Chains A and B, each alone.
Chain A
Amino acid sequence: MPQLAYSERGARAKWAEKHDLELMEGLRAGDTLALDELISRKTQPLLQVVHRILGDLEEARDVVQVTMLRVWQRRGEYDSRWQPNTWIFRIATNIAIDTLRSRRSRERSAPGVLHHLRQAGVRQERRDGDRLAGQEVHQIFLELAECLTEKQRVVFVLREVEGRPSNEVAEILGCRESTVRNHLFNARRVLRDRLLDRYPEYVPEHLRASGRPVS
């Protein structure tokens, strides 16, 4: 019906002009067009973070879908004093952490094969001369990040790669800033040692000589 389509377009346009906080109010009132607008705004940044954490785009898409479903289902729990972004990213990172845990649990049941496949994948990436350097760096990060705990990995991505402030990362993870700093310190130490051990060509010569032993 043209009239209905016109009025829905108008409602969508109305939400497109609103601030995130107003969208959350619309969501709490049960407006699905507010949810659609929120999905339009948050899909790309959520996918980017979750993809950096998990390293698999299809898995990242699944996590973002479930995140937005939870946002809808828990809209009544949202407190307008919270930053919408922080609340949504908290839901997404929790689901990403659960995904990492279940993936590791699966890998524990077949460690040899999966490790071999991952190593082969990295070697293949490194052989393809036309691959962008950034993608190669991402593959190396994903390989080395296997040595991190789930929390260390998420903190490293949010803080060091995404450049989010410590207080925001603490709010997203629901912990203290000092805990975030500890996770970050340990993550950096582990990644530095593993990089020196497995990919010394990425470590400057003066640091290779003075590099700490791999822990």
Chain B
Amino acid sequence: MDCTRARRLLRERDDAAAAERDGALRHLDECPECAALAPALDPVLLFRGLPTLETPPDEAARMREAVAVLRRAALDPKPARTARIALRAAAAAVLVAAALWLAPGPAGNPRRPGVQPAQLAGALALGEYLPSVETLGASPAYVATQVNESDLTLVIVANVDVSGR
């Protein structure tokens, strides 16, 4: 497109056909003289000269790190606050119950019977219990917890070495 035609089209852009407008704009990229004159033909063409954004050299590296953090946070959401409180309360209840359960009874009063290993294995197999590992003093304990709507039943086997698990 020659300069005269491009300048006429740019002056009357609103009335020109889309293809002709595009051609005139492309001409501006190729012709510095017309580009310098453009705002005089149509003041809105002033905004074609918005500056190129200058960013620090490590912009992309910082962006990669920021996106990695967001991605990990999206993948690995923390449990809700209420769930965390419930879990801590359950753990505390387990420890208290364990201390009471394992404490020797008074003289003449036999110690309460423990849970038979077969019972525990059966309950775990039926999926009625939530197994977890807690620490009782220096020893890890295998703890199976059953939560019902109405009450909380705890079954504890203490002093089980689970380090090899």
- Give residues in A with beta carbon < 8 Å to B: 32, 35-36, 39-40, 43-44, 47-48, 51-52, 57, 61, 64-66, 68-69, 72-73, 132-135, 137-138, 141, 156, 160-161, 163, 165-166, 181, 185, 188-189, 191-192, 195-196, 202-204, 207
- What is the total of A-B residue contacts with beta carbons within 8 Å? 98
B residues within 8 A CB of A40?
A: 60, 64
Contact status of A163 and B74, CB under 8 A, knowing A39-B63, A44-B60, A192-B44: no
Which of chain A's residues have a CB closer than 8 A to the CB of B63?
A: 39, 43, 61, 64-65, 68
Q: How far in angstroms is the closest Cβ of chain B from A47?
A: 6
Contacts of B14 in A (CB 8 A): 185, 188-189
CB-CB nearest 9 A-B residue pairs = A134-B51, A43-B60, A204-B40, A48-B53, A68-B67, A40-B60, A69-B70, A203-B43, A43-B63
Instruction: Using CB atoms, name the residue of chain B closest to A196.
Output: B43
Known: A69-B70, A188-B13. 6 other contacts (CB 8 A): A48-B53, A57-B53, A72-B71, A138-B51, A141-B50, A185-B14
Q: Chain B residues with Cβ under 8 A from A64's Cβ?
A: 63
* Chain B residue with Cβ nearest A189: B14
Q: Is the CB of B43 within 8 A of A202?
A: yes
The answer to whether the Cβ of B55 comes within 8 Å of any Cβ in the partner chain is: yes
Task: Name the distance in Å between B39's Cβ and chain A's nearest Cβ.
Answer: 7
Contact A137 B47 (CB under 8 A): yes
- The answer for the CA separation of A183 and B5 in the assembled complex, in Å, is 25
Instruction: Give the residue of A43, A69, A137 whose beta carbon is less than 8 angstroms from that of B59.
Output: A43
The interface of chain B, by Cβ under 8 A from chain A, is 13-14, 18, 22, 25, 29, 39-40, 42-44, 46-53, 55, 59-60, 63-64, 66-68, 70-71, 74
Q: CB distance B22 to A166 under 8 Å?
A: yes
B39 neighbours in A (Cβ, 8 Å):
202, 204
On whether the beta carbons of B25 and A163 are closer than 8 Å, the reply is yes
CA distance A36 to B65 in the complex (A): 9
Pick the contact of B46: A68, A132, A137, A156 (CB < 8 A). Answer: A137
CA of A73 to CA of B18, assembled, Å: 38
Known contacts: A44-B55, A69-B74, A203-B43. The answer to whether A161 contacts B50 by CB under 8 A is yes
Q: By the criterion CB–CB under 8 Å, are A134 and B71 in contact? A: no
Q: Return the chain B residue nearest A204 by Cβ.
A: B40
Tell me the minimal C-beta distance from A74 to chain B in angstroms: 12
When distances are taken between beta carbons in the complex, the residues of chain A under 8 Å from B70 are: 65-66, 69
User: Are B66 and A138 closer than 8 Å at their CB atoms?
Assistant: no
Residues of B within 8 A of A137 (CB): 46-47, 49-51
Which A residues lie within 8 Å of B18 (CB)? 166, 181
CA distance A138 to B48 in the complex (A): 10
